[in-house]
Amino acid sequence: MAAVIEIGSSPPSQADFHRVITQRSDRWYSACLKITRNPDLAADAVQDALLNAWRKRGQFRNTARLDTWIHRIAVNAALNLLRKSRPGVFEALDSDVEDDADRPDQVLQDHELESDLAASLARLSEVERVCFVLKHLEHWRTREISEEIGTNDGCVKQAVFRAVHKLRADMQHLERLES
């Protein structure tokens, strides 16, 4: 279970951070990897996020969960690293962090789906990929995305629409396999 800090309590302790890092660091890395498509940048983003969160722990609003707060910082760190590295070429995503609790056949199926999704995401433009990941995988609001990437809501909606359209076309073979 994720660390939840009580409203009105003091800033998160080192033990709170350790507990949430142990439970959630794989999810943060996975989210950053989907955004950057580069394992090194994703690892750097998570490390930057943890350092930043620790330094700013006094600013933590107790109305949120600690893991969610750090997750948001990690996604922002990935976006910042992506901006700095632009227009660099990123490595293709080979795999994602897997949950050991899954059955072996489910892990294989999930890995294949993740590989297909990663390959399809790699074919999107950077703006389409970032908007899609933030909207559909990270569940950000359109307004939050537009503010983060410095554009308007309409541009974000268009990028998400184009990304979904391209991904559906690119991954239509999965529908045929399931029927």
CATH topology of domain 11-91: Rna Polymerase Sigma Factor; Chain: A (1.10.1740)
Question: In this structure, what token pair is assigned to residue 19?
Answer: 């507990």
152 three-class SS: coil
User: First CA to last CA across the chain, in angstroms?
Assistant: 37
Q: Rounded to an integer, what distance in angstroms lies between the CA atom of residue 140 and that of residue 168?
A: 21
Report the top-level CATH class of 101-179.
mainly alpha
Residue with the larger pLDDT of the pair 70 and 116 = 70
Burial class (CB in 10 A: 0-12, 13-18, 19+), 58: exposed
Q: For the chain, what are the domain ranges? A: 11-91, 101-179
Mean per-residue pLDDT for 28-51?
Answer: 88
H-state helical runs in 86-170: 104-122, 126-132, 142-149, 153-170
Does residue 34 carry a pLDDT above 90? no
Question: In this structure, what token pair is assigned to residue 160?
Answer: 């998400």
* Residue 148 CB coordination number (10 Å): 17
What is the chain's mean pLDDT, rounded?
A: 77
The pTM of this model reads 0.55
Question: In this structure, what token pair is assigned to residue 53?
Answer: 């969160």
Q: Phi-psi category of 37—alpha, beta or left, where left has phi over 0 and alpha has psi -120 to 50?
A: left
In percent, how much of the chain has pLDDT > 90? 9
* CB contact set of 177 (below 8 Å; sequence gap of 6+): none
User: Do the domains 11-91 and 101-179 sit in the same CATH topology, yes or no?
Assistant: no
| pLDDT at res. 38 | 86
| pLDDT at res. 61 | 75
38-44 own/partner pairs: CB under 8 Å, 24+ apart: 38/85, 38/90, 38/91, 39/91, 41/78, 41/81, 41/82, 41/85, 41/90, 42/78, 44/77, 44/81
